[in-house]
Chain A
């Protein structure tokens, strides 16, 4: 692995289903983030983690949960997907809170 990866690349999901988006980085970065990007709204922070074992809420956390069991992985779970969660989801990581963030390739999620 080089950098930060996300899976799946894209997914179509029925409303009400549970879904976990995966994110893995191999840069040993302390901080990791989940954003969603919607047309005309830009990137909005969902959840973040400053270090393994800790997580925090961003601007739009409702309907999403995260965990950070180790440094490398930061999965995002939609417990019961709704159509308004249709979006492109980007995971990012950074060495510190003030450092540049490196973004994964994104997951395009469609909830029907």
Chain B
């Protein structure tokens, strides 16, 4: 089966940086996705990594190490609107996404 682990909750101050770690074990691997989900809303796509390394997209960056089965999402210059759940998801060999339970990030003033 698939196993995706990420912390349940994180709290940070406005303007700070937060790093959300994710480890995965899947039947083969075709990439790692990060989604953002605000309370009561649908998940929205943030990033996709298939090769090792760091992908930067504005205030958000995502890192992947395939050999370690590890990824992280880095949120910089935190804003109140970044308070949300962040979902790590691994794409297996049969192209099915397996999601972690999500990390709830709370940004405090």
Which A residues lie at the B interface, using CB under 8 A?
Answer: 33, 35, 40-45, 48, 50, 58-59, 90, 97-98, 100-106
Give B residues with C-beta under 8 Å from A: 2, 4, 30-31, 33, 41-45, 48, 50, 87, 89, 91, 95-102
- Taking the closest CB of chain B, its distance from the CB of A50, in whole angstroms, is 8
Would you give the shortest CB distance from A45 to chain B, in whole angstroms? 6
Q: Indicate which residue in B30, B96, B102 contacts A45 across the interface (CB closer than 8 Å).
A: B96
Cross-chain contact A41 with B101 (CB below 8 angstroms): yes
Specify which chain A residues have a CB less than 8 angstroms from the CB of B97 in the assembled complex: 33, 43, 45, 101
A-B contact pairs, 19 of them (CB 8 A): A40-B101, A41-B101, A42-B4, A43-B99, A50-B95, A59-B2, A59-B96, A90-B43, A97-B91, A98-B31, A98-B50, A100-B45, A101-B45, A101-B97, A102-B45, A103-B42, A104-B42, A105-B41, A105-B42
